[in-house]
């Protein structure tokens, strides 16, 4: 186990050595994720394990826990969304190797073997972000348009009735 996260590692050597890394990474150091956050305060706790499974698939297991500060799209309030990531990434050298990965693995392309571990953690957190962040317990708002006509019309008239008259007129 290693508490210091190196910037770049050789993935294949890490698999052979069955290395693992644990620690904490500030959210401010993740620039692609930071654009989706309401604030860059806080840190993500991570646990990375390189190894091979029982059938010989080289993999990287990524576990991460963090409370992400997001802006609720319903109330526009900042809230902290707890996120837990637990993924198994199958290491592949070329895209054609993806089909050989067994179920339960997501592919991680490492053509030259070099991996930026902070980028891997950041990628997994970006994938865990909700499409539309909504604060738990936020009340649903009623739509402003209720579907009734404002001018007092009955609303049951067919808008194409005028065309019916034109069709049956003879010149």
DSSP, res 53: -
pLDDT digits (tens, 9 = 90+) for 84-112: 999 999 999 999 889 989 989 999 998 88
Residues forming beta bridges with residue 114, ordered by sequence position: 10
Residue 137: what pLDDT?
Answer: 80
> Is 105:87 a contact under the CB 8 Å cutoff?
no
pLDDT at 113 over 60: yes
Tens of pLDDT, residues 6-20? 999 999 999 999 999
Whether this prediction's pTM lies above 0.85 is answered by no
Residue 80's pLDDT band, with cuts at 50, 70 and 90, is very high
How many residues comprise the chain? 171
pLDDT at 153: 54
Where in the chain are the domains? 8-128
């Amino acid at each position: 186990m290693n508490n210091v996260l190196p910037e770049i590692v050789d993935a294949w050597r890490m698999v052979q050595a069955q290395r693992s890394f644990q620690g904490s990474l500030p959210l401010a150091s993740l620039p692609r994720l930071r654009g989706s956050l309401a604030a860059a305060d806080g840190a993500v706790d991570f646990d990375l394990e390189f190894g091979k499974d029982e059938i010989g698939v080289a993999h990287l297991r990524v576990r991460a826990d963090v409370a992400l500060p997001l802006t609720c799209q319903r109330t526009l309030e900042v809230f902290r969304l707890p996120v837990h990531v637990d993924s198994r990434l199958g290491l592949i050298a070329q895209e054609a190797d993806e089909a050989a990965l067994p179920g339960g693995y997501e592919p991680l392309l490492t053509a030259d073997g070099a991996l930026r571990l902070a980028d891997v953690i950041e990628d997994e957190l970006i994938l865990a972000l909700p499409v539309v962040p909504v604060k738990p317990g936020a009340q649903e708002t009623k739509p402003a348009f209720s579907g009734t006509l404002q001018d007092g019309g009955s609303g049951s008239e067919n808008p194409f009735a005028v065309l019916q008259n034109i069709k049956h007129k003879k010149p």
